[in-house]
Protein backbone atom coordinates (compact mmCIF):
# COMPACT_ATOMS: atom_id res chain seq x y z
CA UNK A 1 0.00 0.00 0.00
CA UNK A 2 1.57 3.28 -1.07
CA UNK A 3 -1.46 5.55 -0.60
CA UNK A 4 -1.00 6.84 -4.17
CA UNK A 5 -4.32 6.84 -6.05
CA UNK A 6 -4.56 5.23 -9.49
CA UNK A 7 -6.08 7.13 -12.39
CA UNK A 8 -7.87 5.16 -15.11
CA UNK A 9 -6.87 6.07 -18.66
CA UNK A 10 -9.31 6.06 -21.61
CA UNK A 11 -8.33 2.48 -22.51
CA UNK A 12 -8.94 1.09 -19.01
CA UNK A 13 -5.26 0.96 -18.01
CA UNK A 14 -4.45 2.47 -14.60
CA UNK A 15 -1.55 4.82 -13.83
CA UNK A 16 -0.32 5.86 -10.36
CA UNK A 17 -1.11 9.57 -10.01
CA UNK A 18 2.30 10.27 -8.43
CA UNK A 19 5.51 9.15 -10.12
CA UNK A 20 9.20 9.96 -10.26
CA UNK A 21 10.76 12.15 -12.98
CA UNK A 22 14.25 11.47 -14.32
CA UNK A 23 15.00 14.47 -16.59
CA UNK A 24 18.55 15.80 -15.98
CA UNK A 25 19.56 12.87 -13.80
CA UNK A 26 22.97 11.90 -15.16
CA UNK A 27 23.12 8.24 -16.24
CA UNK A 28 25.73 7.42 -13.61
CA UNK A 29 23.32 8.53 -10.85
CA UNK A 30 20.12 7.20 -12.38
CA UNK A 31 20.14 3.58 -11.17
CA UNK A 32 20.78 4.51 -7.55
CA UNK A 33 18.34 7.43 -7.55
CA UNK A 34 15.57 5.45 -9.23
CA UNK A 35 16.12 2.63 -6.75
CA UNK A 36 15.79 5.17 -3.91
CA UNK A 37 12.45 6.27 -5.40
CA UNK A 38 11.23 2.67 -5.73
CA UNK A 39 12.32 1.94 -2.13
CA UNK A 40 10.39 5.02 -0.99
CA UNK A 41 7.26 3.62 -2.62
CA UNK A 42 7.06 5.31 -6.04
CA UNK A 43 5.67 2.84 -8.59
CA UNK A 44 5.76 5.07 -11.67
CA UNK A 45 8.92 6.26 -13.43
CA UNK A 46 9.04 8.83 -16.24
CA UNK A 47 11.99 8.78 -18.65
CA UNK A 48 12.71 9.52 -22.33
CA UNK A 49 15.26 8.61 -24.96
CA UNK A 50 16.39 12.26 -24.85
CA UNK A 51 17.28 12.00 -21.14
CA UNK A 52 20.03 9.50 -21.98
CA UNK A 53 19.24 7.36 -18.94
CA UNK A 54 16.78 4.69 -20.14
CA UNK A 55 19.36 1.91 -19.62
CA UNK A 56 19.83 2.85 -15.98
CA UNK A 57 16.09 3.31 -15.37
CA UNK A 58 15.50 -0.21 -16.75
CA UNK A 59 18.35 -1.55 -14.65
CA UNK A 60 16.81 -0.06 -11.50
CA UNK A 61 13.37 -1.52 -12.27
CA UNK A 62 14.93 -4.96 -12.84
CA UNK A 63 17.16 -4.72 -9.76
CA UNK A 64 14.34 -3.49 -7.49
CA UNK A 65 12.96 -6.98 -6.93
CA UNK A 66 9.48 -5.66 -7.70
CA UNK A 67 7.18 -7.47 -10.12
CA UNK A 68 7.29 -5.84 -13.53
CA UNK A 69 3.51 -5.38 -13.37
CA UNK A 70 3.85 -3.33 -10.19
CA UNK A 71 5.91 -0.54 -11.78
CA UNK A 72 4.52 1.83 -14.42
CA UNK A 73 7.24 2.95 -16.87
CA UNK A 74 6.85 5.78 -19.39
CA UNK A 75 9.28 6.72 -22.15
CA UNK A 76 9.16 9.14 -25.06
CA UNK A 77 10.09 9.27 -28.70
CA UNK A 78 13.24 11.14 -29.67
CA UNK A 79 12.64 14.37 -31.62
CA UNK A 80 14.88 13.14 -34.43
CA UNK A 81 12.68 10.08 -35.04
CA UNK A 82 9.34 11.49 -36.21
CA UNK A 83 9.32 9.78 -39.63
CA UNK A 84 7.24 6.58 -39.50
CA UNK A 85 10.04 4.02 -39.82
CA UNK A 86 12.39 6.05 -37.62
CA UNK A 87 9.74 6.03 -34.90
CA UNK A 88 9.41 2.24 -35.06
CA UNK A 89 13.19 1.91 -34.81
CA UNK A 90 13.32 4.39 -31.92
CA UNK A 91 10.74 2.36 -30.02
CA UNK A 92 12.88 -0.78 -30.48
CA UNK A 93 15.89 1.18 -29.24
CA UNK A 94 13.99 2.29 -26.13
CA UNK A 95 12.93 -1.29 -25.41
CA UNK A 96 16.50 -2.59 -25.89
CA UNK A 97 17.86 0.10 -23.59
CA UNK A 98 15.22 -0.39 -20.90
CA UNK A 99 15.59 -4.17 -21.13
CA UNK A 100 11.92 -4.63 -20.25
CA UNK A 101 9.45 -6.96 -21.97
CA UNK A 102 6.84 -4.26 -22.40
CA UNK A 103 6.45 -0.54 -21.81
CA UNK A 104 3.48 0.99 -20.00
CA UNK A 105 3.28 4.30 -21.85
CA UNK A 106 5.07 5.71 -24.89
CA UNK A 107 4.69 9.37 -25.87
CA UNK A 108 5.51 11.63 -28.81
CA UNK A 109 7.82 13.94 -26.85
CA UNK A 110 7.16 17.16 -28.80
CA UNK A 111 4.74 17.90 -31.67
CA UNK A 112 7.38 19.77 -33.77
CA UNK A 113 4.59 21.17 -35.97
CA UNK A 114 7.04 22.70 -38.46
CA UNK A 115 9.16 19.58 -38.83
CA UNK A 116 7.07 17.00 -40.64
CA UNK A 117 3.74 15.52 -39.71
CA UNK A 118 3.00 14.22 -36.23
CA UNK A 119 0.00 12.32 -37.65
CA UNK A 120 2.47 10.07 -39.49
CA UNK A 121 4.43 9.68 -36.25
CA UNK A 122 1.24 8.77 -34.40
CA UNK A 123 0.50 6.00 -36.95
CA UNK A 124 3.78 4.36 -35.95
CA UNK A 125 2.80 4.59 -32.27
CA UNK A 126 -0.61 3.09 -33.08
CA UNK A 127 1.16 0.14 -34.74
CA UNK A 128 3.36 -0.43 -31.71
CA UNK A 129 0.27 -0.19 -29.49
CA UNK A 130 -1.55 -2.83 -31.54
CA UNK A 131 1.49 -5.11 -31.24
CA UNK A 132 0.97 -5.17 -27.46
CA UNK A 133 4.54 -4.09 -26.64
CA UNK A 134 3.22 -0.87 -25.10
CA UNK A 135 0.07 -0.78 -22.96
CA UNK A 136 -0.87 2.84 -23.74
CA UNK A 137 0.27 5.61 -26.07
CA UNK A 138 0.03 9.35 -25.72
CA UNK A 139 1.54 12.71 -26.54
CA UNK A 140 3.49 15.44 -24.82
CA UNK A 141 3.53 19.19 -25.28
CA UNK A 142 0.50 19.12 -27.61
CA UNK A 143 -1.63 22.27 -27.78
CA UNK A 144 -5.38 21.97 -28.41
CA UNK A 145 -4.89 22.65 -32.14
CA UNK A 146 -2.37 19.80 -32.37
CA UNK A 147 -4.72 17.47 -30.48
CA UNK A 148 -7.64 18.40 -32.72
CA UNK A 149 -5.63 17.56 -35.82
CA UNK A 150 -4.54 14.25 -34.33
CA UNK A 151 -8.07 13.30 -33.25
CA UNK A 152 -9.45 14.12 -36.71
CA UNK A 153 -6.89 11.91 -38.44
CA UNK A 154 -6.39 8.85 -36.26
CA UNK A 155 -8.19 6.00 -34.52
CA UNK A 156 -6.51 5.77 -31.12
CA UNK A 157 -7.19 8.72 -28.79
CA UNK A 158 -4.01 9.60 -26.84
CA UNK A 159 -4.26 8.31 -23.28
CA UNK A 160 -2.38 11.31 -21.87
CA UNK A 161 -0.97 14.69 -22.81
CA UNK A 162 2.15 15.48 -20.77
CA UNK A 163 2.55 19.27 -20.58
CA UNK A 164 4.30 21.87 -18.46
CA UNK A 165 1.99 22.78 -15.54
CA UNK A 166 2.68 24.54 -12.24
CA UNK A 167 1.25 27.48 -10.29
CA UNK A 168 2.80 30.02 -12.70
CA UNK A 169 1.43 28.13 -15.74
CA UNK A 170 -1.93 26.61 -14.90
CA UNK A 171 -2.74 25.59 -18.50
CA UNK A 172 -6.51 25.85 -18.11
CA UNK A 173 -7.28 25.69 -21.85
CA UNK A 174 -5.16 22.60 -22.63
CA UNK A 175 -6.32 20.81 -19.49
CA UNK A 176 -10.01 21.38 -20.14
CA UNK A 177 -9.69 20.38 -23.80
CA UNK A 178 -7.97 17.17 -22.63
CA UNK A 179 -10.71 16.50 -20.07
CA UNK A 180 -13.40 16.88 -22.76
CA UNK A 181 -11.62 14.32 -24.93
CA UNK A 182 -10.89 11.90 -22.05
CA UNK A 183 -7.14 12.60 -22.26
CA UNK A 184 -5.44 12.68 -18.85
CA UNK A 185 -3.14 15.64 -18.21
CA UNK A 186 0.32 14.89 -16.86
CA UNK A 187 2.04 17.93 -15.34
CA UNK A 188 5.75 18.23 -16.03
CA UNK A 189 8.05 20.51 -14.00
CA UNK A 190 5.31 20.47 -11.34
CA UNK A 191 7.30 22.73 -8.99
CA UNK A 192 8.68 24.76 -11.94
CA UNK A 193 12.11 23.29 -11.16
CA UNK A 194 11.96 24.98 -7.76
CA UNK A 195 10.93 28.47 -8.98
CA UNK A 196 7.56 28.51 -7.20
CA UNK A 197 8.88 27.40 -3.81
CA UNK A 198 9.59 30.89 -2.47
CA UNK A 199 6.27 32.34 -3.53
CA UNK A 200 4.67 33.97 -0.44
CA UNK A 201 1.20 32.61 -1.29
CA UNK A 202 2.62 29.08 -1.23
CA UNK A 203 4.93 29.49 1.77
CA UNK A 204 2.04 30.99 3.78
CA UNK A 205 -0.10 27.90 3.17
CA UNK A 206 2.90 25.64 3.81
CA UNK A 207 3.44 27.25 7.20
CA UNK A 208 -0.23 26.90 8.15
CA UNK A 209 -0.50 23.21 7.22
CA UNK A 210 2.96 22.36 8.53
CA UNK A 211 4.27 21.07 5.19
CA UNK A 212 6.98 22.18 2.78
CA UNK A 213 6.26 24.48 -0.17
CA UNK A 214 7.05 21.57 -2.52
CA UNK A 215 4.52 19.33 -0.79
CA UNK A 216 1.83 22.04 -0.92
CA UNK A 217 2.48 22.60 -4.63
CA UNK A 218 2.43 18.89 -5.44
CA UNK A 219 -0.74 18.43 -3.37
CA UNK A 220 -2.37 21.22 -5.43
CA UNK A 221 -1.65 19.18 -8.58
CA UNK A 222 -3.02 16.01 -6.97
CA UNK A 223 -6.26 17.73 -5.95
CA UNK A 224 -6.63 19.15 -9.48
CA UNK A 225 -6.52 15.57 -10.73
CA UNK A 226 -3.34 15.71 -12.82
CA UNK A 227 -0.60 13.07 -12.85
CA UNK A 228 2.75 14.39 -11.48
CA UNK A 229 6.31 13.09 -11.29
CA UNK A 230 8.66 15.47 -9.46
CA UNK A 231 12.36 14.88 -10.02
CA UNK A 232 14.99 14.93 -7.31
CA UNK A 233 18.39 13.35 -6.82
CA UNK A 234 18.18 14.11 -3.08
CA UNK A 235 16.87 11.24 -0.94
CA UNK A 236 15.24 13.52 1.62
CA UNK A 237 13.33 15.37 -1.13
CA UNK A 238 12.40 12.10 -2.87
CA UNK A 239 10.75 11.06 0.40
CA UNK A 240 9.24 14.51 1.04
CA UNK A 241 7.67 14.62 -2.43
CA UNK A 242 6.05 11.24 -1.80
CA UNK A 243 4.33 12.27 1.46
CA UNK A 244 1.28 13.95 -0.05
CA UNK A 245 -1.62 11.81 1.03
CA UNK A 246 -2.11 12.62 4.71
CA UNK A 247 -3.12 16.27 4.38
CA UNK A 248 -5.49 18.32 2.27
CA UNK A 249 -5.69 21.85 0.91
CA UNK A 250 -8.90 23.81 1.34
CA UNK A 251 -10.82 25.19 -1.63
CA UNK A 252 -9.47 28.60 -0.64
CA UNK A 253 -5.87 27.33 -0.75
CA UNK A 254 -6.51 25.72 -4.15
CA UNK A 255 -7.89 29.01 -5.48
CA UNK A 256 -5.04 31.08 -4.04
CA UNK A 257 -2.44 28.85 -5.72
CA UNK A 258 -4.30 28.78 -9.05
CA UNK A 259 -4.49 32.58 -8.92
CA UNK A 260 -0.68 32.72 -9.18
CA UNK A 261 -0.92 31.88 -12.88
CA UNK A 262 1.02 34.25 -15.14
CA UNK A 263 1.35 31.97 -18.17
CA UNK A 264 5.06 31.73 -17.53
CA UNK A 265 6.91 28.78 -19.05
CA UNK A 266 10.19 27.37 -17.77
CA UNK A 267 10.55 25.32 -20.97
CA UNK A 268 9.97 25.94 -24.68
CA UNK A 269 6.69 26.97 -26.30
CA UNK A 270 5.46 23.86 -28.19
CA UNK A 271 4.35 25.93 -31.21
CA UNK A 272 7.82 27.41 -31.59
CA UNK A 273 10.03 24.50 -30.55
CA UNK A 274 11.73 22.72 -33.42
CA UNK A 275 13.61 19.98 -31.56
Binding site for ligand NAP (CB under 6 A): 21-23, 46, 109, 140-141, 162, 188-194, 197, 212, 214, 229-234, 237, 240-241, 267
How many Å apart are CA 29 and CA 18, to the nearest integer?
21
* Cβ at position 227, least distance to ligand NAP in Å: 10
Integer-rounded Cα radius of gyration of the chain:
18
Angle (CA) 236 188 48, round 5°: 90
Q: Which residue out of 42, 51, 129, 168 is catalytically annotated?
A: 51
Of 153 and 234, nearer to ligand NAP (C-beta) is 234
Concerning whether 168 is annotated as a catalytic residue, the answer is: no
How far, CA to CA in Å, does 213 sit from each of 94, 111, 216?
35, 32, 5
* Cβ at position 185, least distance to ligand NAP in Å: 12
Q: How, if at all, do strands 20-21 and 14-16 pair?
A: unpaired
Please provide the distance, in angstroms rounded to a whole number, between the alpha carbons at the two ends of the chain: 40
* Cβ at position 251, least distance to ligand NAP in Å: 24
Of 121 and 152, nearer to ligand NAP (C-beta) is 121
Q: Closest residue (Cβ) to ligand NAP?
A: 21
DSSP 157-215: PPSEEEEE-BTTB--HHHHHHHHHTT-EEEEESTTGGGTTTT-HHHHHHHHHHT--HHH
Of 58 and 190, nearer to ligand NAP (C-beta) is 190
* Cβ at position 267, least distance to ligand NAP in Å: 6
Of 73 and 95, nearer to ligand NAP (C-beta) is 73
Tell me which residues are annotated as active site.
51
Amino acid sequence: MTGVPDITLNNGVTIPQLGFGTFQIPPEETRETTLAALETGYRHIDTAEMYGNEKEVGQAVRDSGLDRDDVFVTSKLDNGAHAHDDALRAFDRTMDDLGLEYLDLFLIHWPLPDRGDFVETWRALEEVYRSGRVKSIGVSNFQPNHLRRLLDNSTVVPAVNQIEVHPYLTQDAVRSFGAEQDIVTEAWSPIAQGKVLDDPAITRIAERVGRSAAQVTLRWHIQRGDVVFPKSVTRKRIEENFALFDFELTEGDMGDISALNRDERTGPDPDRFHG
